[in-house]
A and B are shown apart, each in its own frame.
Chain A
Amino acid sequence: MVREIHHNSQEPNHKSKRVIQWAPIMTAGCLLAASPVFGNSEDPSQMPNMFKPQSSPAHSIFHLSLFVLAICAVIFVIVFSLLTYSVIKFRRRADDDGREPPPVYGSNQIELAWTVIPVLIVLVLFLATARVIHAIQQARKPPEAIEVIAIGHQFWWEFRYPALGVVTANELHVPSSDRSHPTPTFITLLSADTDHSFWVPRLAGKTDLIPNRVNQMWIDPNETGIFVGQCAQYCGTQHAKMLLRVYVDSPDQFQKWVQEQSKPAQVSESAKEGRRIFETTACINCHAVSGTVADGRFGPDLTHLMSRDTIASGAASNSSENLRLWIHDPDAIKPGSLMPAMNLNQRDLDAVTAYLETLR
């Protein structure tokens, strides 16, 4: 029994399908090749683009990724072509005679070939990958390495440099590292509450911060600059605004920064009233200002608050208005953050803000 199954006239579906399939590949390629072109309102150096690595782990990953992308691209082109060809060549024509095509149940040789070849590809890919895994995870720590302890909080980053006596928050300063005289930064990752993840794509892959667990990562940026990233493991309401800024300084700049940061807080006569209010209100339950009675650990250390470009872990720039707004109503900047609205009257608010602005 031969069925006459009516079908519509052929539509040029294959051509448009092909265009749509190629578009993302071309776009990604263009992006890689000419990223500055896209950045008219965007500063390319602010784009956390893993294809512009500036540190050895990111470099190794970048090279591996090109290798993997190349293999995948070849596989894609071959299979895509076979598929497109078969759809076009073997579609039923309008003048079809209605006979069934010869049934083919299988072919041992072909099936063997398309099993063996993928296995070989997998082997090659795996060997290339395993090399990079070991290179990054088993890197030796040289004696000149800078040691940082990063503690993830809901929703900010605490950075401690135990050997240098520095405690800061949200903006990490590291020295650039010269190949001939490497000074990488080794970061120990801890968490005070939930899971977080440290991700600055141009410097390294991400590593998680997990409570009750100690993780490690390292970076050795070769050029100065500011590198952005953010928390990459959902940690609660304000996961989105747990931003990261890594400042790669020249060795001299870094030394200067360390010197400034390890000093206790500046004392300023003009801000006496604000300091009094700060130290007699709940502020000191959470915040620390070195050299004063404030030594809370729940919130960021404020000793050198004004040396930072941003507040609230990057959620707002460090300006007078933002600082005031943050103390008065944190939910206006970062709804759901754990900083409570301090319920100060206007006078006290002005005084405390003025005090904080003396903490350079």
Chain B
Amino acid sequence: MASETIALTAAHDVPQPIGTVLHDWVVTVDHKKLGILYILYALVFLVIGGIEATIMRMQLIVPHNHFVSPQVFNRMFTMHGTTMIFFVTMPILFGFGNYLIPLMIGARDMAFPRLNAWSFWLTAFGGLLLYFSFIGGNGLYGAGNAPDVGWFAYAPLTATAFSPGHSTDFWTLGLLVSGFGSIGTAVNILATIVCLRCPGMTLSKMPLLAWLNLVMAAMVLLAISPLTAAQMMLSLDRFLGAHFFDTLAGGSAVLWMHFFWIFGHPEVYVLVIPAFAFASEIIPVFSRKPIFGYPVMVAATVCIGFVGFSVWAHHMFTVGMNSYANSFFTITTMVIGVPTGIKIFNWIATMWGGKIILKTPMLFCIAFLFQFLIAGLTGIMLSAAPFDWQLGNSYFVVAHFHYVIVGGILFTLFGAFYYWFPKMSGRMYNETLGKWHFWLFFIGFHLTFDFMHVPGLLGMPRRIYTYEPGRGWDVWNLICTIGVFFQIAGTLVFIGNLLWSYFNGKAAGNDPWDAWTLEWSTSSPPVEYNFAKIPVVKSRRPLWDIKHPEDPDWKYE
């Protein structure tokens, strides 16, 4: 596969032996290769996480089902959540960031290429460590099985008394290790954006993708650390008999919740802000208009970055905090809906008066707008603490966050795949297959996650391996499971499209979308050093200025 890349960029080269190619990829410090490694790693785990979800939905298709045992089901939801957040979404977003940021700011690579490679391999190792737990098994010196404590691993369920063996330790240590990788990447992104922008590119002339990744990186530094600290504490409890979360020694289970959610809530903004970045790059190009209100988009994102650290206890409304605490977290959570909503309005205003091209990247972004709107509104419902006392920890919450992560983040990710695939591979993807992917996945997503809100409203809690018939939940669970198959079909079409197009797609050329940011001025795929000459920019859309010298952007910005 990589031999084709080399052939595309330097037609004279003889295809290298597979050993050399593999070695090249393993020792690379090139941000583009590392970006692709992150993305491929995440795609593999996306499929694995999807299998875990499918197993769960098969178990829940009818009440009192016996598809899997409760022990297996509990491992499934733990691994599914942990995998999707830490080994799919974070790596894939880091991967796109790694690939695109230097290109978009006119740099030759990230600020610390070796740190980049170290961070990737650390993250990758963390994932493998977590998954080793499946084959750890009792036979292998009692090393344990996959963790089954839920992805947020509440204490004291994680104490040695309630989680014997080492399954919880695989969770803790796998995430601890990959957490250091995430901090490394965040440091790199921050340093790159602050220090390596090309001449003329002040902060206010950076593409929005760079701005949003900057905010995301800053959040990672401050958000992953609480999780790291809490996991260190949990490990001290489990290995050295410490009492951080040992309720019998006076420790506090709620303290774990606070530490975890101080990480956990900003984490979801870390995940969604790069998704916003993709939408902010794709929607303008496919509406043929610049982004509406660039300064406010930046300000709103920075606002989300700050306020995002003040809302965490809305995950703890049912824990029995006093009414003042509950009210405080209600208002902060509602307030953060304002800058988020503003961004939706700005995207609509970008489309307004434009000439919208309904190709696959844009289809995914339009669906993202509809779906993120709904996700935000169900979030507002959950922010009202008393409403959360009913809806919290139920399938309504599960539907809400899947709406954000799948309907919001994954959809923009698919859009980003199609948008930048020509740049990364040099080939155009197949548009018909792209549309098939979109519609299959769209139908499947809505079948599963629209109707999932209903059992939550009717009292179905989450993380149950089976449920009682006669409570009004049966038909909804059935519909949710059916949707899974459409999503599987869509994903298979997607992977097929990527593979087929990589080998058979038309040559894409430098700029198949007539876009305006610097990455489209390089070859597809770019040469290893990105730019022959470091570009000098005068506006937010440097390629527009080049293509429209009579009407350049810098006159109006």
Chain A interface residues toward B at CB < 8 A: 1, 3, 5, 7-8, 10-11, 13, 17, 20-21, 23-24, 27-28, 31, 35, 38-39, 41-44, 46-51, 58, 60-61, 64-65, 68-69, 72, 75-76, 79-80, 82-83, 86-87, 90-92, 96, 100-107, 110-111, 114-115, 118-119, 122, 125-126, 128-130, 132-134, 136-138, 154, 189, 193-195, 197, 199, 201, 204-208, 210-213, 215-216, 228-241, 243, 314, 335-336
Contacts and interface: CB of A to CB of B under 8 A. Distances in A.
Contacts of A39: 472
List of 9 A-B pairs having minimum Cβ-Cβ separation, nearest first: A205-B389, A48-B459, A240-B464, A215-B320, A212-B247, A24-B450, A211-B247, A106-B293, A92-B355
Contact of B356 (A90, A122, A211, A240): A90
A87 B366 contact: yes
Given A28-B453, A49-B472, A92-B356, A76 B70 contact: no
B458 A49 contact: yes
B381 interface: yes
Contacts, number: 325
B453 A17 contact: no
Given A5-B514, A28-B454, A72-B381, A230 B390 contact: no
Contact of B150 (A91, A104, A197, A234): A234
Interface in B262-295: 287-290, 292-295
Contacts of A137: 322-323, 326
Nearest to A73: B377
Contact of B386 (A111, A136, A215): A136
Contacts of A92: 288, 355-358
A50 B156 CA distance: 30
Nearest to A25: B450
Given A13-B363, A234-B154, A43 B380 contact: no
Contact of A46 (B71, B74, B162, B470): B470
A210 B319 contact: yes
Contacts of A199: 393, 459, 461
B443 A20 contact: yes
A154 B162 CA distance: 10
A205 B465 contact: no
A154 B157 CA distance: 10
Interface of B: 69-71, 74, 148, 150, 154, 156-157, 162, 247-248, 250-254, 287-290, 292-296, 318-320, 322-323, 326-327, 330-331, 334-335, 337-338, 341-342, 344-346, 348-349, 351-359, 363, 366-367, 369-370, 373-374, 377-378, 380-381, 384-394, 431-432, 435, 439, 442-443, 446, 450-451, 453-454, 457-459, 461-472, 474-475, 513-514, 547-548, 553, 556-557
B74 A237 contact: yes
A89 to B, nearest CB: 9
Contact of B352 (A60, A90, A189): A90
Contacts of B378: 72
28 contacts: A5-B513, A11-B435, A24-B451, A28-B454, A28-B457, A42-B474, A60-B386, A64-B384, A72-B377, A79-B344, A86-B352, A86-B356, A91-B356, A96-B355, A101-B288, A101-B353, A122-B334, A194-B154, A194-B156, A197-B393, A205-B390, A210-B320, A211-B253, A212-B252, A237-B70, A239-B74, A240-B467, A335-B69
A16 to B, nearest CB: 9
A106 B292 contact: yes
A273 B173 CA distance: 54
A245 to B, nearest CB: 11
A69 B381 contact: yes
Contacts of B253: 195, 210-213
B459 A122 contact: no
Contact of B295 (A7, A11, A106, A201): A106
Looking at chain A's contact residues, the main secondary structure is mixed
Nearest to B556: A105
B296 to A, nearest CB: 5
A110 B352 CA distance: 13
B472 to A, nearest CB: 4
A60 B385 CA distance: 12
Given A92-B357, A104-B292, A240-B466, 19 more contacts: A3-B514, A20-B446, A42-B470, A47-B459, A51-B457, A72-B381, A76-B374, A83-B369, A90-B351, A91-B357, A106-B292, A126-B331, A130-B327, A138-B323, A210-B320, A213-B252, A233-B393, A234-B150, A336-B71
Contact of A100 (B288, B370, B462): B288
A83 B296 CA distance: 20
A207 B320 contact: yes
B334 A125 contact: yes
B461 A230 contact: yes
Given A79-B373, A216-B320, A193 B162 contact: yes
Contacts of A27: 451, 454
A68 B396 CA distance: 15
Nearest to A62: B390
A313 B75 CA distance: 23
Contacts of B366: 83, 87
A236 B150 CA distance: 9
Contacts of A48: 458-459, 471
A19 B351 CA distance: 22
Contacts of B367: 17
B342 A207 contact: no
Nearest to A58: B390
A72 B374 CA distance: 9
A128 B380 CA distance: 13
B463 A234 contact: yes
Contact of A83 (B348, B390, B432): B348
Contacts of B162: 154, 193-194, 236
B344 A133 contact: no
A10 to B, nearest CB: 7
Contact of A118 (B342, B346, B450): B342
A236 B348 CA distance: 45
A245 B374 CA distance: 34
Contacts of B381: 65, 68-69, 72
Nearest to A154: B162
B318 A197 contact: yes
B167 to A, nearest CB: 12
Which of A86, A126, A128 has most B Cβ within 10 Å? A86
A138 B391 CA distance: 21
A231 B467 CA distance: 12
B330 A129 contact: yes
B458 A47 contact: yes
A5 B439 CA distance: 22
Question: Which of B74, B250, B459 has the most chain A CB atoms closer than 10 A to its own CB?
Answer: B459
Given A207-B389, A211-B247, A103 B290 contact: yes
Nearest to B340: A118
Given A212-B250, A216-B320, A234-B157, A114 B342 contact: yes
